[in-house]
Structure 1
Amino acid sequence: MSKTRAVKFSDAEIRRQAADPAVHDLRDPRHPGLYLRFGQDRQRGSWYLVKGKAWNHIARFPDLGAAAVLAELPALRQRLLRDSSATVALGGLATCGQLIDWYGNRMSLDRSLSAKRKAGAKSAIKCHLKPRLENVPVRELTAAVLDKELMWPCQQELSLSYVHQLFVLLVVAFLQAYKLGLIDKNPMADMKFVDFTKARIMPKAARLRGVHLVEVVPMLTDLFESRPGEAMLAIMMLCHGTRVGETRMARWSDISIPDGEWFIAAENTKTRTEHRLPLTAQAKALLTRYRAIQISQGYEGIYLFPSRRGRAISEGQASAVFSRIGQGEWTSHDLRKVARTAWTDLGIDGHIGEMLLNHSLGKIASTYINTQARAQRLAALEKWHNWLDERGFKSIHNLTDTQYEDSQNPVQATGGVGCEPVSNIVNGEVSK
Structure 2
Amino acid sequence: MASKRGGMRTTGEVLEWWLSRIEGDRTRSEKYRASMGSLMRRHVLPRLGRVAVRRLDRVTLDDKLVFPMHQVLAPRTVQKALQGMRQAFRMAETQGRIEDNPLVGTTFRDFYKGKLRPKPAALSRVDLPALVQHLVQVFNREPAKGMLPLMMLAHGTRIAETVAARWGHISLDERVWVIPEANTKSRREHVLPLTPQVVGLLGRYREALPDARLKTAWVFPVRGGAGLALTSAHALMREVSGRQWTSHDLRKLMRSSLADIGVDHMVGELLINHALGVTTETYLTRDAMERRREALERWHARLDECGFADAHGVNVAAPAFLQSAAAPVLARDCAVSCVSTWGG
- Class of the TM-score when normalised by the shorter of the 2 chains: 0.7 to 0.9
* Shift, 1:91, TM fit: 2.6
Q: 8 Å contact 1:261–1:276 — kept in the other structure?
A: yes
Stretches of structure 1 lacking an aligned partner (at least 5 in a row)? 1-70, 73-87, 406-432
* Shift, 1:228, TM fit: 0.6
Q: In 2, Cα distance between the equivalents of 1:149 and 1:372? A: 54
* Shift, 1:278, TM fit: 0.5
Q: In 1, Cα distance between the equivalents of 2:139 and 2:100? A: 59
* Shift, 1:100, TM fit: 1.0
What TM-score results when the alignment is normalised by the length of structure 2? Answer: 0.87
Q: In 1, Cα distance between the equivalents of 2:274 and 2:58? A: 34
* Shift, 1:140, TM fit: 1.5
Q: In 1, Cα distance between the equivalents of 2:125 and 2:100? A: 52
Among all aligned residue pairs of Structure 1 and Structure 2, give the percentage whose two residues are the same amino acid: 38
1:235 maps to which residue?
Answer: 150
Q: In 2, Cα distance between the equivalents of 1:388 and 1:141? A: 54
Q: 8 Å contact 1:265–1:274 — kept in the other structure?
A: yes
Q: Deviations over 1:74-103 (max 9, x none)?
A: xxxxxxxxxxxxxx9453122211111221
Q: In 1, Cα distance between the equivalents of 2:10 and 2:212? A: 57
Q: 8 Å contact 1:244–1:333 — kept in the other structure?
A: yes
Q: Greater Rg, structure 1 or structure 2? A: 1
Q: Does 1:314 align with 2:314?
A: no
What TM-score results when the alignment is normalised by the length of structure 1? Answer: 0.70
Q: In 2, Cα distance between the equivalents of 1:284 and 1:392? A: 16
Q: 8 Å contact 1:95–1:137 — kept in the other structure?
A: yes
Q: Deviations over 1:321-342 (max 9, x none)?
A: 1111111211111110100000
2:297 maps to which residue?
Answer: 382
* Shift, 1:180, TM fit: 2.1
Q: In 1, Cα distance between the equivalents of 2:21 and 2:213? A: 43
Q: 1:94 to 1:319 in 2, by over 3 A?
A: same
Q: Does 1:304 align with 2:246?
A: no
1:153 maps to which residue?
Answer: 68
1:120 maps to which residue?
Answer: 35
Q: Give the number of equivalent residue pairs.
A: 320
* Shift, 1:370, TM fit: 4.4
* Shift, 1:381, TM fit: 0.4
Q: 8 Å contact 1:281–1:403 — kept in the other structure?
A: no
Q: In 2, Cα distance between the equivalents of 1:174 and 1:297? A: 48
Q: 1:237 to 1:401 in 2, by over 3 A?
A: closer
Q: In 2, Cα distance between the equivalents of 1:289 and 1:228? A: 8
Q: Does 1:110 align with 2:56?
A: no
Q: Does 1:163 align with 2:89?
A: no
Q: In 1, Cα distance between the equivalents of 2:303 and 2:32? A: 33
Q: Which runs of 4+ in 1 moved over 3 A?
A: 295-300, 362-372, 401-405
Q: Does 1:289 align with 2:289?
A: no
Q: In 2, Cα distance between the equivalents of 1:290 and 1:385? A: 17
Higher relative contact order at CA 8 Å, sep ≥6: structure 1 or structure 2? 2
Q: 1:265 to 1:372 in 2, by over 3 A?
A: farther
Q: In 1, Cα distance between the equivalents of 2:283 and 2:7? A: 46
Q: In 1, Cα distance between the equivalents of 2:312 and 2:287? A: 27
Q: Find 2:12's aligned residue among 97, 104, 124.
A: 97
2:336 maps to which residue?
Answer: none
1:354 maps to which residue?
Answer: 269
1:142 maps to which residue?
Answer: 57
Q: Find 1:260's aligned residue among 165, 175, 181.
A: 175
1:395 maps to which residue?
Answer: 310
1:248 maps to which residue?
Answer: 163
Q: 8 Å contact 1:96–1:137 — kept in the other structure?
A: yes
Q: 1:190 to 1:387 in 2, by over 3 A?
A: same
